[in-house]
Structure 1
Amino acid sequence: MLTDYHNHLERGTLTLDYLKKFTDEAKRKNIEHFGISEHAYHFYQTADILSNPWVDERRFYDMNDYTSLFQEAEKAGIDVKMSIEMDYTPGKHEEMERFIRQYDFDYVIGSIHWVDDFGIDLKEFIHEWDKRDVYDTYRKYFDQVVTLAESNLFDIIGHLDLVKIFNYVPEKEEFLLEQYDRAAAALSKSKTCVEISTAGLRKPTGKLYPDERLLKMCYEKGVPIVLSSDAHQPEDVGANYDQALALAKETGYETIVTFSKGERTVVPIG
Protein backbone atom coordinates (compact mmCIF):
# COMPACT_ATOMS: atom_id res chain seq x y z
CA MET A 1 0.00 0.00 0.00
CA LEU A 2 1.37 3.42 -1.00
CA THR A 3 0.20 6.94 -0.27
CA ASP A 4 1.01 10.30 -1.80
CA TYR A 5 -0.89 12.87 0.22
CA HIS A 6 1.08 16.08 -0.39
CA ASN A 7 0.65 17.49 -3.90
CA HIS A 8 -0.11 20.86 -5.48
CA LEU A 9 -1.96 22.12 -8.54
CA GLU A 10 -0.75 25.72 -8.19
CA ARG A 11 1.47 25.67 -11.29
CA GLY A 12 -1.48 24.70 -13.45
CA THR A 13 -5.23 25.10 -13.16
CA LEU A 14 -8.04 23.96 -10.89
CA THR A 15 -9.48 21.80 -13.65
CA LEU A 16 -10.31 18.14 -14.04
CA ASP A 17 -7.96 17.82 -17.00
CA TYR A 18 -4.98 19.09 -15.00
CA LEU A 19 -5.91 17.11 -11.91
CA LYS A 20 -6.13 13.96 -14.03
CA LYS A 21 -2.47 14.34 -15.03
CA PHE A 22 -1.58 13.88 -11.35
CA THR A 23 -3.99 11.03 -10.67
CA ASP A 24 -2.90 9.22 -13.83
CA GLU A 25 0.72 9.42 -12.71
CA ALA A 26 -0.24 8.13 -9.27
CA LYS A 27 -2.03 5.19 -10.87
CA ARG A 28 0.96 4.50 -13.11
CA LYS A 29 3.18 4.29 -10.03
CA ASN A 30 0.75 2.07 -8.11
CA ILE A 31 -0.09 4.74 -5.54
CA GLU A 32 -3.49 3.70 -4.26
CA HIS A 33 -4.12 6.63 -1.90
CA PHE A 34 -3.55 9.99 -3.57
CA GLY A 35 -4.50 13.48 -2.46
CA ILE A 36 -4.17 17.14 -3.39
CA SER A 37 -3.24 19.53 -0.59
CA GLU A 38 -3.10 23.03 -2.05
CA HIS A 39 -1.39 25.76 -0.04
CA ALA A 40 -4.02 27.41 2.17
CA TYR A 41 -2.48 30.86 1.71
CA HIS A 42 -3.60 30.85 -1.94
CA PHE A 43 -7.25 31.09 -0.83
CA TYR A 44 -9.12 34.30 -0.08
CA GLN A 45 -10.75 32.55 2.88
CA THR A 46 -7.44 32.37 4.79
CA ALA A 47 -6.58 36.08 4.79
CA ASP A 48 -7.29 36.27 8.52
CA ILE A 49 -4.80 33.47 9.27
CA LEU A 50 -1.62 34.36 7.40
CA SER A 51 -0.92 37.70 5.78
CA ASN A 52 2.36 39.25 4.69
CA PRO A 53 3.52 40.92 1.46
CA TRP A 54 4.88 37.69 -0.07
CA VAL A 55 1.73 35.69 0.71
CA ASP A 56 -0.76 38.41 -0.17
CA GLU A 57 0.59 38.62 -3.73
CA ARG A 58 -0.19 34.91 -4.14
CA ARG A 59 -3.76 34.80 -2.87
CA PHE A 60 -5.79 33.98 -5.96
CA TYR A 61 -8.07 30.99 -5.28
CA ASP A 62 -11.57 30.66 -3.86
CA MET A 63 -12.41 27.61 -1.76
CA ASN A 64 -15.72 27.21 -3.60
CA ASP A 65 -13.82 26.51 -6.83
CA TYR A 66 -11.51 24.11 -5.01
CA THR A 67 -14.27 22.04 -3.41
CA SER A 68 -16.18 22.01 -6.72
CA LEU A 69 -13.16 20.42 -8.42
CA PHE A 70 -13.26 17.45 -6.03
CA GLN A 71 -17.01 17.10 -6.53
CA GLU A 72 -16.39 16.97 -10.29
CA ALA A 73 -13.67 14.38 -9.76
CA GLU A 74 -16.00 12.20 -7.71
CA LYS A 75 -18.67 12.33 -10.41
CA ALA A 76 -16.05 11.40 -13.00
CA GLY A 77 -14.98 8.38 -10.93
CA ILE A 78 -11.56 9.83 -10.10
CA ASP A 79 -10.33 8.70 -6.69
CA VAL A 80 -8.56 11.69 -5.12
CA LYS A 81 -8.55 12.93 -1.54
CA MET A 82 -9.23 16.59 -0.75
CA SER A 83 -6.80 18.24 1.62
CA ILE A 84 -5.13 21.54 2.37
CA GLU A 85 -1.60 22.39 3.41
CA MET A 86 -1.93 25.09 6.01
CA ASP A 87 0.91 27.25 7.24
CA TYR A 88 0.85 26.71 10.98
CA THR A 89 0.52 30.24 12.35
CA PRO A 90 1.16 30.83 16.08
CA GLY A 91 -1.60 32.85 17.74
CA LYS A 92 -4.14 31.90 15.07
CA HIS A 93 -5.43 28.59 16.46
CA GLU A 94 -9.07 29.70 16.54
CA GLU A 95 -8.93 31.00 12.98
CA MET A 96 -7.20 27.85 11.72
CA GLU A 97 -9.69 25.58 13.45
CA ARG A 98 -12.64 27.58 12.12
CA PHE A 99 -11.32 27.31 8.57
CA ILE A 100 -10.57 23.58 8.82
CA ARG A 101 -14.04 22.79 10.18
CA GLN A 102 -15.79 24.58 7.33
CA TYR A 103 -14.73 22.01 4.75
CA ASP A 104 -15.02 18.26 4.36
CA PHE A 105 -11.30 17.53 4.12
CA ASP A 106 -10.11 13.94 4.04
CA TYR A 107 -7.08 15.05 6.07
CA VAL A 108 -5.25 18.31 6.80
CA ILE A 109 -1.51 18.96 6.55
CA GLY A 110 0.14 21.51 8.82
CA SER A 111 3.53 22.87 7.77
CA ILE A 112 5.97 25.50 8.98
CA HIS A 113 7.39 27.80 6.32
CA TRP A 114 7.72 31.00 8.36
CA VAL A 115 9.78 31.86 11.43
CA ASP A 116 8.44 35.26 12.38
CA ASP A 117 8.74 37.23 9.10
CA PHE A 118 11.40 34.92 7.66
CA GLY A 119 10.31 32.59 4.85
CA ILE A 120 12.83 29.87 5.63
CA ASP A 121 12.40 27.85 2.40
CA LEU A 122 11.99 30.72 -0.06
CA LYS A 123 14.76 31.68 -2.46
CA GLU A 124 13.68 35.30 -2.07
CA PHE A 125 14.69 35.10 1.59
CA ILE A 126 17.85 33.01 1.32
CA HIS A 127 20.10 35.98 2.09
CA GLU A 128 18.46 36.16 5.51
CA TRP A 129 20.14 32.91 6.55
CA ASP A 130 23.51 34.68 6.62
CA LYS A 131 22.08 37.50 8.74
CA ARG A 132 20.46 35.33 11.38
CA ASP A 133 21.67 33.01 14.09
CA VAL A 134 21.08 29.47 12.85
CA TYR A 135 20.59 28.16 16.39
CA ASP A 136 17.93 30.75 17.11
CA THR A 137 16.14 29.99 13.84
CA TYR A 138 16.18 26.25 14.50
CA ARG A 139 14.97 26.70 18.07
CA LYS A 140 12.09 28.90 16.93
CA TYR A 141 11.25 26.50 14.11
CA PHE A 142 11.04 23.52 16.43
CA ASP A 143 9.12 25.61 18.97
CA GLN A 144 6.46 25.77 16.27
CA VAL A 145 6.67 22.03 15.58
CA VAL A 146 5.88 21.47 19.26
CA THR A 147 2.94 23.88 19.37
CA LEU A 148 1.65 22.59 16.02
CA ALA A 149 1.53 19.11 17.53
CA GLU A 150 -0.04 20.40 20.74
CA SER A 151 -2.79 22.15 18.78
CA ASN A 152 -3.96 18.74 17.49
CA LEU A 153 -5.46 20.50 14.48
CA PHE A 154 -3.55 18.56 11.85
CA ASP A 155 -3.50 14.98 10.62
CA ILE A 156 -0.03 15.23 9.07
CA ILE A 157 2.94 17.53 9.58
CA GLY A 158 4.57 18.39 6.27
CA HIS A 159 8.33 18.04 5.65
CA LEU A 160 9.13 17.91 9.36
CA ASP A 161 12.66 19.32 9.14
CA LEU A 162 12.16 21.68 6.20
CA VAL A 163 14.41 24.14 8.03
CA LYS A 164 17.46 22.28 6.62
CA ILE A 165 16.44 23.03 3.00
CA PHE A 166 19.37 25.35 2.15
CA ASN A 167 21.93 23.35 4.16
CA TYR A 168 22.15 25.80 7.04
CA VAL A 169 22.43 23.32 9.90
CA PRO A 170 23.71 23.82 13.47
CA GLU A 171 27.16 22.30 13.96
CA LYS A 172 26.45 21.08 17.49
CA GLU A 173 24.82 17.68 17.13
CA GLU A 174 23.68 17.75 20.75
CA PHE A 175 21.61 20.86 20.05
CA LEU A 176 20.10 19.33 16.91
CA LEU A 177 19.19 16.08 18.65
CA GLU A 178 17.57 18.06 21.45
CA GLN A 179 15.30 19.78 18.90
CA TYR A 180 14.50 16.44 17.27
CA ASP A 181 13.66 14.83 20.60
CA ARG A 182 11.23 17.49 21.74
CA ALA A 183 9.55 17.47 18.31
CA ALA A 184 9.10 13.69 18.37
CA ALA A 185 7.87 13.79 21.96
CA ALA A 186 5.22 16.41 21.16
CA LEU A 187 4.08 14.57 18.03
CA SER A 188 3.74 11.32 19.97
CA LYS A 189 1.14 12.95 22.21
CA SER A 190 -0.91 14.24 19.27
CA LYS A 191 -2.93 12.79 16.39
CA THR A 192 -0.35 14.12 13.92
CA CYS A 193 1.44 11.75 11.54
CA VAL A 194 4.83 12.46 10.01
CA GLU A 195 5.34 12.29 6.26
CA ILE A 196 8.44 10.82 4.74
CA SER A 197 8.78 13.31 1.93
CA THR A 198 10.92 12.90 -1.16
CA ALA A 199 10.73 16.64 -1.90
CA GLY A 200 14.07 17.28 -0.20
CA LEU A 201 15.81 15.20 -2.82
CA ARG A 202 14.77 17.84 -5.37
CA LYS A 203 15.93 20.73 -3.15
CA PRO A 204 19.42 22.05 -2.25
CA THR A 205 19.55 19.79 0.82
CA GLY A 206 19.43 16.73 -1.45
CA LYS A 207 18.02 14.66 1.42
CA LEU A 208 14.72 13.15 2.41
CA TYR A 209 12.55 14.79 5.03
CA PRO A 210 12.91 14.03 7.86
CA ASP A 211 16.48 13.28 8.91
CA GLU A 212 16.86 9.58 9.71
CA ARG A 213 17.77 10.38 13.34
CA LEU A 214 14.57 12.37 13.74
CA LEU A 215 12.50 9.68 12.05
CA LYS A 216 14.02 7.06 14.37
CA MET A 217 12.92 9.11 17.38
CA CYS A 218 9.43 9.33 15.91
CA TYR A 219 9.37 5.55 15.40
CA GLU A 220 10.55 4.87 18.94
CA LYS A 221 7.83 7.15 20.31
CA GLY A 222 5.11 5.55 18.20
CA VAL A 223 4.45 8.38 15.73
CA PRO A 224 2.78 7.00 12.56
CA ILE A 225 3.87 7.90 9.03
CA VAL A 226 2.58 8.53 5.53
CA LEU A 227 4.53 8.79 2.27
CA SER A 228 4.50 11.98 0.21
CA SER A 229 6.28 13.51 -2.76
CA ASP A 230 5.15 17.17 -2.44
CA ALA A 231 4.79 17.19 -6.22
CA HIS A 232 4.19 20.57 -7.86
CA GLN A 233 4.09 18.99 -11.30
CA PRO A 234 2.61 15.66 -12.40
CA GLU A 235 5.88 13.90 -13.17
CA ASP A 236 7.05 14.32 -9.55
CA VAL A 237 4.16 12.31 -8.10
CA GLY A 238 5.67 9.36 -6.23
CA ALA A 239 9.18 10.48 -7.15
CA ASN A 240 12.06 8.55 -5.55
CA TYR A 241 9.74 6.38 -3.50
CA ASP A 242 12.33 3.62 -3.46
CA GLN A 243 14.41 5.81 -1.13
CA ALA A 244 11.43 6.75 1.04
CA LEU A 245 10.42 3.11 1.44
CA ALA A 246 13.98 2.07 2.23
CA LEU A 247 14.24 4.73 4.96
CA ALA A 248 10.89 3.73 6.45
CA LYS A 249 11.84 0.06 6.61
CA GLU A 250 15.39 0.71 7.86
CA THR A 251 13.90 2.80 10.65
CA GLY A 252 11.57 -0.02 11.65
CA TYR A 253 8.24 1.08 10.21
CA GLU A 254 6.02 -1.70 8.89
CA THR A 255 2.78 0.28 8.51
CA ILE A 256 1.52 3.58 7.13
CA VAL A 257 -1.70 5.50 7.66
CA THR A 258 -4.42 6.18 5.08
CA PHE A 259 -7.16 8.79 5.38
CA SER A 260 -10.75 9.19 4.22
CA LYS A 261 -13.06 11.95 5.48
CA GLY A 262 -10.87 12.41 8.54
CA GLU A 263 -10.92 8.73 9.43
CA ARG A 264 -7.58 6.94 9.53
CA THR A 265 -6.67 3.33 8.80
CA VAL A 266 -3.34 1.64 9.53
CA VAL A 267 -2.17 -0.57 6.66
CA PRO A 268 1.01 -2.52 5.81
CA ILE A 269 3.62 -0.42 4.08
CA GLY A 270 4.08 -0.87 0.34
Structure 2
Amino acid sequence: MLTDYHAHLEKGTLTIDYLTKFVETAKQKGIEEFGISEHAYHFYETKNIVSKPWMEERRYYAMDDYVNLFKKAEKLDLDVRMSIEMDYTPCRHEEMESFISSYPFDYVIGSVHWVDDFGIDLAEFRKEWDRRDLYETYRAYYDQIITLAQSNLFDIVGHIDLVKIFNHVPKDEEFLMEQYERVTDALKNSKTCVEISSAGLRKPVGRLYPEPELLSLCYKKGIPIVLSSDAHEPHQVGENYEASIELAKKTGYTTLMTFKDGERKEVELG
Protein backbone atom coordinates (compact mmCIF):
# COMPACT_ATOMS: atom_id res chain seq x y z
CA MET A 1 0.00 0.00 0.00
CA LEU A 2 1.04 3.61 -0.62
CA THR A 3 -0.09 6.71 1.24
CA ASP A 4 -0.04 10.43 0.60
CA TYR A 5 -1.22 12.15 3.75
CA HIS A 6 0.17 15.63 3.19
CA ALA A 7 -1.54 17.83 0.59
CA HIS A 8 -3.00 21.34 0.44
CA LEU A 9 -5.91 22.99 -1.37
CA GLU A 10 -4.68 26.51 -0.60
CA LYS A 11 -3.73 27.41 -4.19
CA GLY A 12 -7.29 26.68 -5.31
CA THR A 13 -10.60 26.59 -3.52
CA LEU A 14 -12.45 24.53 -0.94
CA THR A 15 -14.64 22.95 -3.61
CA ILE A 16 -15.47 19.41 -4.63
CA ASP A 17 -14.23 20.06 -8.16
CA TYR A 18 -10.77 21.09 -6.96
CA LEU A 19 -10.58 18.34 -4.34
CA THR A 20 -11.52 15.76 -6.97
CA LYS A 21 -8.45 16.68 -9.03
CA PHE A 22 -6.22 15.68 -6.11
CA VAL A 23 -8.11 12.46 -5.45
CA GLU A 24 -8.03 11.44 -9.11
CA THR A 25 -4.27 12.05 -9.31
CA ALA A 26 -3.78 9.89 -6.21
CA LYS A 27 -5.72 7.06 -7.86
CA GLN A 28 -3.69 7.40 -11.05
CA LYS A 29 -0.47 7.15 -9.02
CA GLY A 30 -1.64 3.99 -7.24
CA ILE A 31 -2.02 5.71 -3.87
CA GLU A 32 -4.67 3.87 -1.88
CA GLU A 33 -4.71 6.19 1.15
CA PHE A 34 -4.90 9.93 0.42
CA GLY A 35 -5.58 12.87 2.69
CA ILE A 36 -5.81 16.65 2.65
CA SER A 37 -4.03 18.43 5.50
CA GLU A 38 -4.67 22.14 5.05
CA HIS A 39 -2.48 24.59 6.96
CA ALA A 40 -4.20 25.43 10.23
CA TYR A 41 -3.17 29.09 10.07
CA HIS A 42 -5.57 29.60 7.16
CA PHE A 43 -8.52 29.15 9.52
CA TYR A 44 -10.08 31.85 11.69
CA GLU A 45 -10.47 29.32 14.49
CA THR A 46 -6.69 29.02 15.07
CA LYS A 47 -5.94 32.68 15.68
CA ASN A 48 -5.70 32.06 19.44
CA ILE A 49 -3.00 29.43 18.79
CA VAL A 50 -0.66 31.26 16.47
CA SER A 51 -0.85 34.72 14.94
CA LYS A 52 1.88 36.36 12.90
CA PRO A 53 1.55 39.14 10.32
CA TRP A 54 2.49 36.73 7.53
CA MET A 55 -0.27 34.38 8.62
CA GLU A 56 -2.95 37.02 9.11
CA GLU A 57 -2.65 37.94 5.43
CA ARG A 58 -3.52 34.33 4.65
CA ARG A 59 -6.23 33.59 7.23
CA TYR A 60 -9.36 33.26 5.11
CA TYR A 61 -11.09 29.92 5.79
CA ALA A 62 -13.74 28.78 8.28
CA MET A 63 -13.56 25.28 9.72
CA ASP A 64 -17.27 24.66 9.09
CA ASP A 65 -16.64 25.05 5.35
CA TYR A 66 -13.70 22.67 5.55
CA VAL A 67 -15.63 19.99 7.43
CA ASN A 68 -18.59 20.34 5.07
CA LEU A 69 -16.31 19.81 2.08
CA PHE A 70 -15.37 16.37 3.39
CA LYS A 71 -18.98 15.54 4.17
CA LYS A 72 -19.82 16.29 0.53
CA ALA A 73 -16.87 14.18 -0.57
CA GLU A 74 -18.15 11.24 1.49
CA LYS A 75 -21.60 11.49 -0.08
CA LEU A 76 -19.96 11.39 -3.52
CA ASP A 77 -17.84 8.35 -2.54
CA LEU A 78 -14.59 10.29 -2.85
CA ASP A 79 -12.04 8.38 -0.80
CA VAL A 80 -10.13 11.10 1.02
CA ARG A 81 -9.05 11.61 4.63
CA MET A 82 -9.55 14.89 6.49
CA SER A 83 -6.55 16.26 8.30
CA ILE A 84 -4.90 19.51 9.32
CA GLU A 85 -1.27 20.60 9.37
CA MET A 86 -0.78 22.47 12.60
CA ASP A 87 2.09 24.89 13.12
CA TYR A 88 3.37 23.53 16.40
CA THR A 89 3.34 26.42 18.86
CA PRO A 90 5.19 26.13 22.18
CA CYS A 91 3.15 27.13 25.23
CA ARG A 92 -0.11 26.62 23.34
CA HIS A 93 -0.67 22.93 24.06
CA GLU A 94 -4.10 23.41 25.64
CA GLU A 95 -5.28 25.58 22.75
CA MET A 96 -3.97 23.12 20.17
CA GLU A 97 -5.56 20.19 21.97
CA SER A 98 -8.90 22.01 22.15
CA PHE A 99 -8.84 22.78 18.44
CA ILE A 100 -7.80 19.27 17.42
CA SER A 101 -10.49 17.63 19.58
CA SER A 102 -13.21 19.91 18.17
CA TYR A 103 -13.20 18.39 14.69
CA PRO A 104 -13.39 14.85 13.26
CA PHE A 105 -9.88 14.66 11.86
CA ASP A 106 -8.72 11.28 10.61
CA TYR A 107 -5.20 12.27 11.68
CA VAL A 108 -3.26 15.44 12.49
CA ILE A 109 0.14 16.59 11.25
CA GLY A 110 2.35 18.75 13.44
CA SER A 111 5.10 20.76 11.79
CA VAL A 112 7.64 23.40 12.71
CA HIS A 113 7.92 26.28 10.23
CA TRP A 114 8.93 29.06 12.62
CA VAL A 115 11.78 29.67 15.04
CA ASP A 116 10.37 32.57 17.06
CA ASP A 117 9.46 35.09 14.33
CA PHE A 118 11.76 33.55 11.71
CA GLY A 119 9.83 31.71 8.99
CA ILE A 120 12.56 29.22 8.14
CA ASP A 121 11.03 27.91 4.89
CA LEU A 122 9.66 31.17 3.51
CA ALA A 123 11.28 33.01 0.61
CA GLU A 124 10.45 36.30 2.32
CA PHE A 125 12.77 35.35 5.19
CA ARG A 126 15.55 33.78 3.16
CA LYS A 127 18.10 36.55 3.80
CA GLU A 128 17.56 36.05 7.52
CA TRP A 129 19.65 32.89 7.29
CA ASP A 130 22.75 35.05 6.72
CA ARG A 131 22.03 37.06 9.86
CA ARG A 132 21.57 34.19 12.27
CA ASP A 133 23.80 31.62 13.88
CA LEU A 134 23.20 28.40 11.96
CA TYR A 135 23.81 26.11 14.92
CA GLU A 136 21.54 28.07 17.23
CA THR A 137 18.77 27.99 14.63
CA TYR A 138 19.12 24.23 14.19
CA ARG A 139 19.14 23.60 17.92
CA ALA A 140 16.07 25.81 18.44
CA TYR A 141 14.27 24.10 15.55
CA TYR A 142 14.89 20.61 16.91
CA ASP A 143 13.99 21.74 20.43
CA GLN A 144 10.50 22.38 19.03
CA ILE A 145 10.35 19.04 17.22
CA ILE A 146 11.15 17.39 20.55
CA THR A 147 8.39 19.18 22.46
CA LEU A 148 6.04 18.54 19.53
CA ALA A 149 6.65 14.82 20.00
CA GLN A 150 6.41 15.05 23.79
CA SER A 151 3.03 16.78 23.53
CA ASN A 152 1.63 13.59 21.92
CA LEU A 153 -0.95 15.73 20.14
CA PHE A 154 0.04 14.72 16.63
CA ASP A 155 -0.13 11.56 14.56
CA ILE A 156 2.59 12.63 12.11
CA VAL A 157 5.47 15.07 12.24
CA GLY A 158 5.74 16.88 8.92
CA HIS A 159 9.02 17.16 6.99
CA ILE A 160 11.03 16.57 10.13
CA ASP A 161 14.24 18.20 8.86
CA LEU A 162 12.61 21.08 6.98
CA VAL A 163 15.26 23.34 8.52
CA LYS A 164 17.63 22.28 5.71
CA ILE A 165 15.30 23.59 2.97
CA PHE A 166 17.60 26.34 1.66
CA ASN A 167 20.68 24.14 1.93
CA HIS A 168 21.98 25.79 5.08
CA VAL A 169 23.38 22.69 6.78
CA PRO A 170 25.94 22.55 9.62
CA LYS A 171 29.21 20.97 8.57
CA ASP A 172 29.68 19.47 12.00
CA GLU A 173 28.31 15.94 11.57
CA GLU A 174 28.60 15.24 15.29
CA PHE A 175 26.31 18.20 16.00
CA LEU A 176 23.76 16.96 13.46
CA MET A 177 23.78 13.45 14.85
CA GLU A 178 23.26 14.88 18.34
CA GLN A 179 20.10 16.61 17.11
CA TYR A 180 18.93 13.45 15.35
CA GLU A 181 19.46 11.37 18.48
CA ARG A 182 17.58 13.87 20.65
CA VAL A 183 14.58 14.08 18.37
CA THR A 184 14.28 10.35 17.73
CA ASP A 185 14.50 9.66 21.45
CA ALA A 186 11.47 11.92 21.91
CA LEU A 187 9.57 10.40 18.99
CA LYS A 188 10.06 6.81 20.09
CA ASN A 189 8.15 7.58 23.28
CA SER A 190 5.23 9.26 21.48
CA LYS A 191 2.48 8.22 19.10
CA THR A 192 3.97 10.42 16.37
CA CYS A 193 4.97 8.90 13.03
CA VAL A 194 7.56 10.35 10.67
CA GLU A 195 6.75 11.11 7.06
CA ILE A 196 9.15 10.44 4.23
CA SER A 197 8.38 13.51 2.16
CA SER A 198 9.31 13.84 -1.48
CA ALA A 199 8.70 17.59 -1.26
CA GLY A 200 12.36 18.23 -0.50
CA LEU A 201 13.27 17.12 -4.00
CA ARG A 202 11.47 20.13 -5.49
CA LYS A 203 12.94 22.56 -2.95
CA PRO A 204 16.37 24.29 -3.12
CA VAL A 205 17.96 21.54 -0.99
CA GLY A 206 16.98 18.92 -3.59
CA ARG A 207 16.84 16.09 -1.04
CA LEU A 208 14.16 13.98 0.57
CA TYR A 209 12.96 14.67 4.08
CA PRO A 210 14.39 13.16 6.24
CA GLU A 211 18.09 12.58 5.68
CA PRO A 212 19.03 8.87 5.50
CA GLU A 213 20.94 9.08 8.79
CA LEU A 214 17.91 10.50 10.57
CA LEU A 215 15.53 7.97 9.03
CA SER A 216 17.91 5.17 10.01
CA LEU A 217 17.68 6.25 13.64
CA CYS A 218 13.89 6.33 13.33
CA TYR A 219 13.95 2.74 12.07
CA LYS A 220 16.31 1.54 14.78
CA LYS A 221 14.08 3.09 17.46
CA GLY A 222 10.85 1.65 16.06
CA ILE A 223 9.32 4.92 14.85
CA PRO A 224 6.66 4.24 12.16
CA ILE A 225 6.48 6.06 8.83
CA VAL A 226 4.03 7.33 6.24
CA LEU A 227 4.72 8.55 2.71
CA SER A 228 3.80 12.09 1.71
CA SER A 229 4.33 14.57 -1.11
CA ASP A 230 3.27 17.88 0.51
CA ALA A 231 1.42 18.57 -2.73
CA HIS A 232 0.23 22.15 -3.21
CA GLU A 233 -1.14 21.40 -6.67
CA PRO A 234 -2.89 18.28 -7.98
CA HIS A 235 -0.03 17.19 -10.22
CA GLN A 236 2.34 17.05 -7.23
CA VAL A 237 0.41 14.25 -5.50
CA GLY A 238 2.67 11.21 -5.25
CA GLU A 239 5.49 13.09 -6.95
CA ASN A 240 8.94 11.42 -6.91
CA TYR A 241 7.63 8.48 -4.89
CA GLU A 242 10.16 6.12 -6.44
CA ALA A 243 12.88 7.86 -4.41
CA SER A 244 10.80 7.79 -1.22
CA ILE A 245 10.01 4.09 -1.53
CA GLU A 246 13.64 3.27 -2.31
CA LEU A 247 14.83 5.15 0.78
CA ALA A 248 12.23 3.48 3.00
CA LYS A 249 13.10 -0.03 1.85
CA LYS A 250 16.86 0.62 1.88
CA THR A 251 16.53 1.77 5.48
CA GLY A 252 14.68 -1.43 6.39
CA TYR A 253 11.04 -0.36 6.49
CA THR A 254 8.51 -2.87 5.20
CA THR A 255 5.33 -1.28 6.60
CA LEU A 256 3.47 2.04 6.71
CA MET A 257 0.86 3.47 9.04
CA THR A 258 -2.60 4.36 7.76
CA PHE A 259 -5.21 6.49 9.52
CA LYS A 260 -8.97 6.72 9.70
CA ASP A 261 -11.20 8.31 12.34
CA GLY A 262 -8.22 8.94 14.57
CA GLU A 263 -7.18 5.29 14.60
CA ARG A 264 -4.02 3.98 12.99
CA LYS A 265 -3.30 0.66 11.31
CA GLU A 266 -0.03 -0.85 10.13
CA VAL A 267 0.01 -2.11 6.53
CA GLU A 268 2.59 -3.50 4.14
CA LEU A 269 4.62 -0.96 2.19
CA GLY A 270 3.74 -1.25 -1.51
User: Same fold by TM-score, threshold 0.5 exceeded?
Assistant: yes
Q: Secondary structure at the match of 2:6?
A: coil
Q: Secondary structure at the match of 1:136?
A: helix
Alpha-carbon deviations, 1:232-256, whole Å to 9, x = none?
0000000000000000000000000
Q: Secondary structure at the match of 2:9?
A: coil
Q: Secondary structure at the match of 1:79?
A: coil
Alpha-carbon deviations, 1:130-177, whole Å to 9, x = none?
000000000000000100000000000000000000000111000000
Distance 2:27 2:148 in 1: 32
Distance 1:143 1:262 in 2: 26
Match of residue 30 from structure 2? 30
Distance 2:171 2:208 in 1: 19
Alpha-carbon deviations, 1:8-64, whole Å to 9, x = none?
000000000000000000000110000000000000000000101101111000000
Q: Which amino acid aligns with 1:73?
A: A
Counterpart check, 1:217 vs 2:217: yes
Q: Which amino acid aligns with 1:266?
A: E
Distance 2:65 2:17 in 1: 15
RMSD, matched Cα: 0.3
Match of residue 68 from structure 1? 68
Q: Which amino acid aligns with 2:96?
A: M
Match of residue 177 from structure 1? 177
Q: Secondary structure at the match of 2:227?
A: strand
Distance 1:208 1:183 in 2: 18
Match of residue 194 from structure 2? 194
Q: Secondary structure at the match of 2:31?
A: coil
User: What pairs with 1:52-63 in structure 2 (closer than 5 Å)?
Assistant: 52-63=52-63
Moved >3 Å (runs of 4+): none
User: What pairs with 1:120-269 in structure 2 (closer than 5 Å)?
Assistant: 120-269=120-269
Unaligned residue ranges in structure 2 (runs of 5+): none
User: Shift in Å at residue 261 of structure 1?
Assistant: 0.4
Q: Percent identity?
A: 68
Counterpart check, 1:17 vs 2:22: no
- TM-score, with length taken from structure 2: 1.00
Q: How many residues align?
A: 270
Match of residue 40 from structure 1? 40
